[in-house]
Structure formats: structure tokens, C-alpha cells
Structure 1
Amino acid sequence: MTEPIVSAAWLQANLKDPSLIILDASLKENQSNLKAGLENIQIKGARYFDIKHTFSDTVNPLPNTLPSPKQFEIEARKLGINKSSVIVVYDKLGIYSSPRAWWLFKIMGHQNVAVLDGGLPEWINNDYPVEKIPENPIYAVGNFEAKFIPEFVKSKEQILENIQTKNAVLIDARAENRFKGIGDEPRPGLRSGHIPGSINIPYTQLLQNGKFLPKEELLTILKTDDKPLIFTCGSGVTACIDLIAYELIGKNPKSVYDGSWTEWGQLENLPIEK
């Protein structure tokens, strides 16, 4: 797949592709308290991709952090995913958690993956087939292989170093009031503000009606040069929305600060700006 997103019409036209796997990467709950009201419905034939409990490091006290390549490989195989699978991932909010799943596949070396633009709401708006979510589905085990790409993720030590070197541009996808430190953090115990030198591009500015803005509009919002880009947010989920928006308009090297503000905001020895 050459583009990080596909339309509902594209997915409908390719439903009979035997290599196609559709993944529902919806979160049961989210820090933004967004609700879709589509809890018991999925795209016909979809499989649930559990970011929170299966495709994250649940031993890590930080939420939603990267699983080990081995864990990812084992769980992807359980979902029947193969090396040859063409993966389309969606969520029930339009665009929210599905870009995180897309990034997880990318960092594990799988290229044939895209996000359904507009997610389940867009699919339903087009009267395409849905079904009730089945209980405890079992799939034929796949042969997926994880080939981890470490450059796609950054640690707090690398972020600290970048504050000094400014080699990369750090982009924060949180809401403006949180970035400026004038709004409460949704997670208790975190300082408010932002990582020094970062710029704020709230992910909500890049979406309209649950879909990415057209490329020409993204180009007017997003600053572009040749520098590498690092994306951060509250816990590494909405950072991936900004990442995909930049992927739509440019080929800069891109990575995610996986600890994001949940890590940075709780460590008193790390610098912040307001």
C-alpha cells in the first residue's frame, strides 16, 4: 500500500481479496471520554485488535506502550495475520486509535497496512455491511513475522538529547490548553506544560467529521522541511494521528516518543515549559 489511509469505497471494493484482514482497533474507553455509540457492531468479518491489553506492554506502568516484537508476533498470528496479509485497521470514532495500530504494524516491519479513513461511522454512512460482534472468535493461526524497526520509536533519553541538538522537530498532538499548561491533565499526578522546544499541533485540527483533511488543507496547517519528526501526546495514541497526517504530505523520517506526557509529566527531573 502506497498511502497510509484508504476510503470506505476502496475497502468495499476489495472485500473479496483473500489476503485482506480488517482489524477493529477501537479502545473500550479513552482519555478524551469520546463515545461512538457503536459498541456491539463491527465491519463484517473484522477482528478485534486490542491495543490496551494485547498489543501493548502490560507490565509497563505506562499505558499503551510498545509490546516486544515477540509478543506482537504471537498475538498477530492468533488473529490469523500472515506475512502476506493486506491489513486495513479502523476504529469506532472515525480516526482515533486506528493510527496507533497502523504505527505498531509499521514498526514491526509490515508494510501492507492502512487506516480506514472515517472508520466505522463512515462505513455505516455508506450502508456497507456490518454485523454483531461475535463472542470468542477463533482464527486459523497466521505466519506473521515481526521485523522490528527501532528508529521508529524514541525514549525519554533521546528526547532529552534532542532538546539540546534540535536535530528533530518534536510535535505534540495534545489539546492547546494542555500544551500550554493551563488545563488539567486527565491522568492524576502529572505536571502540566510541554517538552521544551516542542510545537503544538492538536490532532483535532487535522480531522473533519472523523476523516483526515484533504492533503491541500493539511499542507496549510503542517510545517514542512527536511528535518526528522518526533510525535508525542498523552500516551502515544493520538501522536500517531499527527504522524499519519505528515505521512500524507511528506517523507520526513518519523518516530513516536512512546512514553509521551504520561512519562515526561511525572518525572520531576525532566524539564518542562508552559
Structure 2
Amino acid sequence: MLTLTNILGIDEKDFINYKIHFAFGANNDPLNEYLLGRFKEYQEYQTKPNFNRKYIISLVNYDRDIWMYAGIFEVLCDPTLDVSSNLYIYQTNLLDIQSDLIGRLFFTYKKDFRASYPRLELMPASENKPADMVVYKIDVNKLSIEDFPGFDKIKISYDILNSIINQDIPTWKNALSKAKGIYLIADTLTGKLYVGSAYGESALWQRWSEYSKNGHGGNKDLRELLKINGDDYKKNFQYSVLEINNLNTSDIYIFERETHWKEILLTRKHGLNSN
């Protein structure tokens, strides 16, 4: 059984030099930052001086109990405290240790303790030691925005959506252009939901392209939300798909399904739909 320390080539006598960073965020922030190529910079800003060892093994939460290898980073110096933000800023260097497996190597590990920065030699009460976490899979290709995950797995932030649209990524464009359907926008700060429908020639791709431009896509309710909270508030939006149909589906049916989902999710009464 291949474990974390086996595949990374770390001897037990050297555990004292390592910490693990279980990068987890309520809105998938670490995964988004990785996909956008900003994980190193994201990790270097900490609310506490968490990186008090020479090396950091970075693991990004990918799915429940599934962690993606994001590399081993060397901590170059003590952090500086930025008084204005009250954040500790580190300088790190990504090491060439199994770097070809970054974004391809996944571990399975049930993290049943609170610490996000445990010592590698940690021995939790459950005896589920981080050092012994098991390799779940090694993908052929590196995880990237290029990969369209399937309609049932779409859960992307505004920044990711904007990158997909601006880069005109073929796998996404091909899929979204061929599907009418019902989509969901979630305000990740308040939990309020907005249900919308996509129809017409390019369907979901066209509709989401409009959201990419400004966050509200011309919708008055979302426009008002951004007017109140500022344009950057759109970065709190999360996009997913509730239901898809082929391009031959009538627009009337799509409207009926949109109404159905608004009623099911109570988005007129408790969400962001006013009609």
C-alpha cells in the first residue's frame, strides 16, 4: 500500500522537518487558487505563524476525504507581519520533489482533527496518522481548468468562470454550448440562491459569458446586490447546474423547469429571484 511518505521519499527520522498543510476552504478557495495558478502566493499569507518548520507538504482538498498533492515548499525565512492586514507573510520555494505529480497525485484521508497544519509525526487519537495516508489515485493528466468535469460536478467560483470564458477553453465551451438548462448561482457569504435558465443558440455558454462580463449578466436582482455591496462582491458567487436539456428542447419547457426549481428552492421567498 503506497503512502504519503513512501511516494514522497521521506524517512521517519526526517519527519521533524515537515508540517502538512491541509488546505481547505468553505468556498473551495485553495482549489480555485491552484487552478488559477496562484496557490503558492495564496499559501504564503497566513493568519498565524503556522509554518514553523523547514518544509511544508501542501495538500488541497479536492473532494470529501480526498486531497490533491500541491507540492513541497521550503520555508525560506521567518514571516513578516503585515500590520494593515494582520497577516503573516512567508517566502517559500517550491521544491522539485515529485513535482511531476502535482495536480495528478491524490490521497484519501479522513481528517478527524481540527488542526490544518499538523506535524508530520502527529499521532491522532484515531490512529489515522497523516504520514500513513494512502494514495487514492495518480491521474495521467494534471488537474486544470481545461478539464470539463461533467455537468453534475460543476461547482465553480466567479474567478474560475471568468477564466474559462476569457480563455475560451474548448472542453467547457463545447459542453456548455450544447446544453440548455437550469443553473444555480449561490451567494457563498449569505447562502442565498438565484435560479436562472439558459436557452437559445449557445445556451449555457452564452448565458454564463454574460455573467463573466460583470457578475450580474443583466439581471436586475444581482445587479442591485452588486450595487449595494460593490463590484468585487461577484467573487462570492458560485455557479452550478441543476438540470440540462439538449438544444432541441423547447424554450417553453425550459421556462417551466425554471419555475419548478424556483418553487422547490424557495428562491423567490428566501433567495435572489424576484419573479
TM, length-normalised to structure 2: 0.28
The structure with the larger Rg is 2
Larger helix fraction of residues: 2
**Does 1 or 2 have the higher relative contact order (CA < 8 Å, sep 6+)?**
1
TM, length-normalised to structure 1: 0.28
